[in-house]
Structure 1
Amino acid sequence: MHAVQFEISKPIDDSAFEDMCARIYGELFGDLMPKINGRRGQAQGGVDVFVNSSAGRLGIQSKRYVDGALTLKMVEKELERAEKKKVPIIKLIVATTAAADATLLHDVQTLSDIRVAAGQFPVEVEFWDDICRHIRGNGKLQRDYAPNAPGAMFHEQRDSNLALQATVLRIESKLDIVTGLPGARPDSVNKFISSQLDAINEMLKACRFRDGLEAVTRLGSDMGLLDLHQQARWYLQRALCTWHLEGGKAAVNDFLKAAELYPEDEKMAAAGVRGLLLDADIAGAVAAGRKSVDRFPTSVHVWIAYTNARMFKGEEIKLTDVPAAMRSNCDGLCCINLHVIDSQREFLLEF
């Protein structure tokens, strides 16, 4: 297959190359917040950019030189500065706009081996060819530094499509919760209250969240008229209205209150898991979800809430994880589909 090559422009000044190194190595090592070391004119101790990796902090020294201008002595000088400054890094990467030089590469590798044997941090040199290779191998970097490259355009279109699909599925998932609102219990004494709560359910199913919130507020003026299950329904309805109108954080307490008031209802149990998720208590949500699944093994609502918690924890979810009795349920399959799309997006970000 013919590979389409494309030109990547070199930065116009030292500051632009520093920024470029921060962007590229931050992306490569998964650091969303790489740090430029001080401002121009300050002593930087051999490091222009700090990047955090899974192994520890890396130091990047950027050298915007013409071909052949970077020498081993210059690399050694930057190492001396870093050692003197006692810069807290596990490796120094000297990045340069100069073309690849086999002799210098070998010399730096030998120097690095000697340093490691002596208990010092290693050093690497990255030539312009290496930097361009990083850009060509990463769709996000292509969009920044070679936006007209085929890979950049493909990545942007594919990522846009996946983002749209994920948004649609998240909206469907949110509305699925609305359609799964608990109805009245036959043993509730105050049938008028039950009918009012049922009417609010219909408002929420029609996505009339502002109207629903007004109705819930009016009905809750005297909570003493509601039995425990009705109170739990009331809190769950208000949680859903608040979630849609103000955001998840504002709805946390109401979700948790609904589950606390009537844990015998599977949908209230699912609401409790969701409340923990919205409160960013992932471990608590997984634990509560597992407990609820054990208690309500046939509940789709509980299973979806538990599975969402597992997804947030970073667990891989497969179709085989869906209980056999739920595999024909569109809500459960939608949940799995959303996870697959998110996984594709993560893969694409690493492409």
Structure 2
Amino acid sequence: MGSSPRNPRLGLLWTNGRLIELERNQPGGDVRPEGINDRGQVIGTEYPDWDGRVGVATRWDQGVPHPLGPFAEGGSCGVAINNLGQALVISRSVPPDPSRPDVFAPYDQMHLVPPRGGPAIRIRPPAGARSFSYDFGINDRGQILGDYATGSAGYYFFWDRGRTIDLSSLGNNSSWTSATGPNRRGQITGMATRRAFLWQHGKLTVLGPEGAYSRGRALNNRGDVVGYVSVSRDSRPYLWSDGRALELPVPGQVPATALDVNDRREVVGHSEFHGTTKPRAYLWRDGEPIDLGVPPGHDLSRAEFISERGDILGHADHEFSGSLSPRVPPLPERRIFHWTVD
């Protein structure tokens, strides 16, 4: 069975009026960013091969790649970075079996990588953990939110200076549970029993209204939470702040969602554009929406992260005609963008 060539996913930075492509160590490989800190450093993974199975955890400084490691030959992924430049990396001790491309090889190790080299710290999950997922966060105090699996179910844990707190009481990933954070206060947000929440020091505060599906997608260092509330499959972006729930105005049409917020309460996310089903990136400043647009040659855009400087990391897609095989539909070509907004 043959396959058509696939256009690589490119990473692009838009900063100070310039468009910069994230450099790749291997021509033809893919770039998958996972976050950006207030220094403009991007964390993510470069996949030298088009199949995206064995990656190299990478930090980009002004678009220049710096592979992190070395780790085991099974591949590694950069999943989070804080403002000190400390990076979280997950890796495999055993590489994927090339004869079984349909079998996922789990990531079974987690590391805290210092900003200027030196040995990485091995992060130990709760007892019984067999693998890690991609839901991670690290604050400037070095506190970590992690996601581990014991088999078919996944759970969260909180790590603080060598001490691990099991958050399995929130529920498992197969029972409508998600979590993100932590901020500098050690707070976590997410979804438990289908409702948005805020967690701190073992106390859970429910944010989402009864009778609706809601999720906290991100929080800032002030404890503000952004996410969405969904009724009848129409999701709307929300900001929870100082005990109040604020629905953000939607410039296009629902569904829409808020994905990140900084300490100035600038919110980023996306909304479907008027008369289409294609999302469009937006920034909400002082509660008012700003259209970030879609780069030329693309059909849709999403804004996913915002730093304290106001730099925004997201991506834009458009369809191409190639296909990996007769059974696989055409995949979107994705470009990664970094916006700056005056």
- Which TM-score band applies after superposition, normalised by the shorter structure? under 0.3
Q: Normalized against structure 1, the TM-score is what? A: 0.24
Q: Which structure has the bigger radius of gyration?
A: 1
Q: Normalized against structure 2, the TM-score is what? A: 0.25
More helix by share: 1
